[in-house]
Amino acid sequence: MWRTQRSTLSGRQPATRHVQNFVLEIVGMTTGFDHVYVETHDWAAALTFWQALGFELEYDTGHQSGALRHPAGGPTVFLAQQSLEDPLATELYLGAAADYQLPDGVHVVSPFTDTHWGTKVAIIQDPDGHRFRIQAPTT
């Protein structure tokens, strides 16, 4: 959905697009890819793999999980070790603003729920059955 307002070129906002003398503000959109969540059965081997691809450890949680970021930027990779009995998952997280509302017409598997790490996460599903998570600040 687009909201149009008249504006000068000064006072731009991050989620706006200027077309002649109008500003098109994107309403109801995510902020793009936030991070990829990757589970592993071997934290050390997975960490070595991602570092060989140029990613650097941004932080280690101290319990065989942590975030890696590429020096060129982009989304982080969050690695988390799981027990050998557990199947492994890979999840793609989209970012969103704290006031983001899930748009009509999107299949919501799980509405926003507060997490133990201080955000809220919703799960959506595309028409082919792929599930994605949207993460937003709680405030």
For the stretch 124-138, pLDDT in tens is 999 888 899 999 999
What residue type is assigned to position 32 of the chain? G
Q: What per-residue confidence (pLDDT) applies to 13?
A: 41
Residues of the chain with CATH 3.10.180.10: 32-137
CB contact at 8 A, 131 and 123: yes
Q: What per-residue confidence (pLDDT) applies to 63?
A: 94
Cα(first)–Cα(last) distance of the chain, in Å? Answer: 23
Domain 32-137 has CATH 3.10.180.10: yes
Q: How far is CA 82 from the centre of its chain?
A: 21
Structure tokens at 83: 């027990």
Name the pLDDT band for 29 (thresholds 50, 70, 90).
confident
